[in-house]
Amino acid sequence: MSQAPADANPLLDPSGLPRFGDVRPEHVEPGMRALLAELAGELERLERSVEPTWTGAVEPFERMYDRLRNVWGVVGHLVGVKNDPALRAAHEAVQPQVVMLGIRAAQSRPLYEAFVALQKGPEFAALEPAQRRIVDILVRDAVLAGVGLEGEAKQRFGAILTELAELQTAFSNHVLDATKAYALLLRDRDEVAGLPESALALAAQSAREAGEAGATAEHGPWRITLDAPSLVPALEHLARRDLREKLYRAHVTRASSGESDNSVLIPRILALRAEEARLLGFPSYAALSLATKMAPDVAAVERLQEELRRASYTAARRELEELRAFAQSRGQSEELAHWDVAYWAERLREERYAYSEEDLRPYFPLPRVLEGLFELASKLFGVRIRPADGEASVWHPDVHFFRVSDESGEPLAAFYLDPYSRPAEKRGGAWMDECLGRSRLFPDADGRPRRPVAHLVCNQTPPVGAKPSLMSFSEVETLFHEFGHGLQHMLTRVDHGLASGIRNIEWDAVELPSQFMENWCYHRETLLGFARHHETGAPLPDALFEKLCAARTYRAGSVMLRQLFFGVVDLELHHRFDPSGAESIFDVEKRVAETTAVLPRLPEDRFLCSFSHIFAGGYAAGYYSYKWAEVLSADAFAAFEEAGLADAARLREIGRRYRETVLALGGSRRAMEVFTSFRGREPKTEALLRLYGLIAA
């Protein structure tokens, strides 16, 4: 078979929306290779001719960035939603070169020098704030990539990054290996007493995969592993206390001994990160991490964590006492231990808030939920959303296309919605991604900046027969969440592509607009406004709504305290810990647990050895971001509550302000400045504590 010439490759067609329906796996390798060669040539040319001006440095850089982002974005998107072996192989084959080109551009000395000269030159003061911020960030990112280092320092920096990458991979492999190495095989029916049907089925399937060919959900054998989908239901439901203890102990000592011992890797990782930070001029790795975040400094993060800790600690103690009393009343004579908490917490939840997701589904058919969501967007932000199926090429017949416009009818943006789960070809989870970003470098036919286009991808229950997709409540929350991200991408007013939409937004602030939208799912008028039975049209019963709200704050103190524990340990290790000092990493963990855990920690607890978020993932000195962003979103929502959620005119007024600040400014200003311009002050923790019932309303 002959290959199509590059100019006929639909992947490389730069006109308008991507041709999702035409792109085939066989287009990926030739298309990407041609594009990469072209861009590498452009980068070289730019390095020779770059000038320290906006049009001589930043614009050509944005053109290259945008072209690569858009084409490679199509491939990445299809890998996520229309995966098959040929596509995956093509993706893997070109990915290293894409990464290489990115690194080459990020470490380009001539570009860096041009950006610095622009930043220090006469043109800078005359640039718009968004442009100045783009230049500042281009310089900052180059500095953090080590471009400013010379000689020995430069060499050492490269060696550190290489060793860190290896150590992080080893850390993650150790966790995988240790997880795989452990299994609890159960053969007696009484051993699995309490496990729900779905967990039994999963455990039997796991046993079959491990060689027990005849395993069934009903007769076993059942295999429980340390993988979360297997472990969590076991800890929550296994009636046999001794088995829960075994599992719990195995879980908290994972990857802490033998061939997959991470306890030796952690001090090395921390020492290298501290050295990396020092080379770049920061006092600690935490300070380096915060250089790119909204949180101004370590002290500010610690203040926020301490405020939340004080409030949640009291609640968590109360919740623990409650659980103790409950377990006792149900016949547990032993002192409440770690392996009892999840178990009794589930029993108490069932007693108090029992409702099943199945009771709720009939009230959430997708078309009604979308109607409710779009109406909310119209009420708050003054945007109109209309279905536009057929106006864009899609990758699956279930994908919908929508157009977003202003109340005046002026087109603003568009988005794809790929709602249903398709396990055979689509990645799990839900996400928002940019398809095209707003930018005046790529004007539309009418001469206006290119309008943003978003991907909203969910994995909800597909329609069955003539029935529409009936969504679980958490699927509804997820859709609102992703739509919130989408709004920030689509309602941007920034015309400079490198700072429009969600680009350039500090990492600890990106979940603000998404979590903000989730809050509306608990707003009576909003939810009851659209939740109607798909057959009878009856509204969602009040009692069910009340249970939903009560369940949200169930054990809120304990849940928050646990997240804070992770965040505080992370910061301690990346800010104050001295790998050559007297205190070990486990001493640090123990010290933190004294004030951020209500049940004394097991002396043999080695959870740090499987804390992949901070030792193998991107959360190093950033775990606090979960809470930081939650504080922002709750505080933003509180602005609407303070205005009075029943007052339509006030809601509209606050909604427009939110749109013109949080949604419109995106990454063109510092996130703190954006938040302050919406709220009139810096964020406070009070609203989040109130939301979870941790202080009086």
By the criterion CB under 5 A, which residues form the site for Zn ion? 514
Inter-CA distances, 310 with 299, 547, 682, 683, Å: 16, 27, 20, 18
- DSSP-derived pairing of the beta strands 383-387 and 400-406: antiparallel
Nearer to Zn ion, 247 or 509 (CB): 509
Q: For residue 64, which of 430, 497, 465 has the smallest C-alpha distance?
A: 497
> CB of 575: closest distance to Zn ion in angstroms?
26
Question: Between residues 233 and 484, which has the closer beta carbon with respect to Zn ion?
Answer: 484
Say how many C-beta atoms besides its own lie within 10 A of residue 589's C-beta: 21
Is 482 noted as a catalytic residue in this protein?
yes
Minimum Å gap between C-beta 452 and Zn ion is 17
**73 vs 513 by CB, closer to Zn ion:** 513
Q: Which is nearer to Zn ion, 355 or 431 (CB)?
A: 431
Tokens representing residue 597 in the block? 């855990």
Run of H or E residues at 36: helix 25-49
Asked if 616 and 169 count as a contact pair (C-beta separation under 8 A), the reply is: yes
What type of residue is 223? R
On the CB side of 144, CA atoms within 13 Å amount to: 15
Residues 636 and 643: their CA atoms lie apart, in Å, by 12
- Out of 477, 482, 511, 589, the active site residue is 482
Residue 470 contacts residue 92 (beta carbons within 8 Å): no
**Burial grade of 27 (CB within 10 A; 0-12, 13-18, 19 or more):** buried
At its nearest, how many Å lie between Zn ion and the CB of residue 517?
10
What does the angle CA 518 – CA 522 – CA 524 come to, to the nearest 5 degrees?
135
Angle value at C-alpha 110, between 108 and 115, nearest 5 degrees: 95
Structure tokens at 268: 């090395």
- The DSSP call for residue 556 is H
For residue 365, list its beta bridge partners.
470
Integer Cα distance of 537 and 488 in angstroms: 33
**Nearest distance from C-beta of residue 474 to Zn ion, angstroms:** 14
Nearest to 572 by CA among 553, 558, 551, 586: 586
101 or 671: CB nearest Zn ion: 671
**Strand 411-420 with 453-460, pairing:** parallel
DSSP 191: G
The smaller minimum CB distance to Zn ion, of residues 157 and 637, is found at 637
State in angstroms the smallest separation of the CB of 670 from Zn ion: 20
Please state the closest distance from residue 513 (CB atom) to Zn ion, in A: 9
Provide the minimum distance between the beta carbon of 627 and Zn ion in the complex, in angstroms, as a whole number. Answer: 15
Of 108 and 514, CB closest to Zn ion: 514
Alpha-carbon dihedral angle through residues 595, 598, 601, 602, given to the nearest 10 degrees: 170
CB of 23 or CB of 517, closer to Zn ion: 517
Question: For residues 16 and 442, is the Cβ–Cβ distance under 8 A?
Answer: no
The DSSP line for 600-616 is PPPTT--GGGG-HHHHT
Catalytic residue set: 482
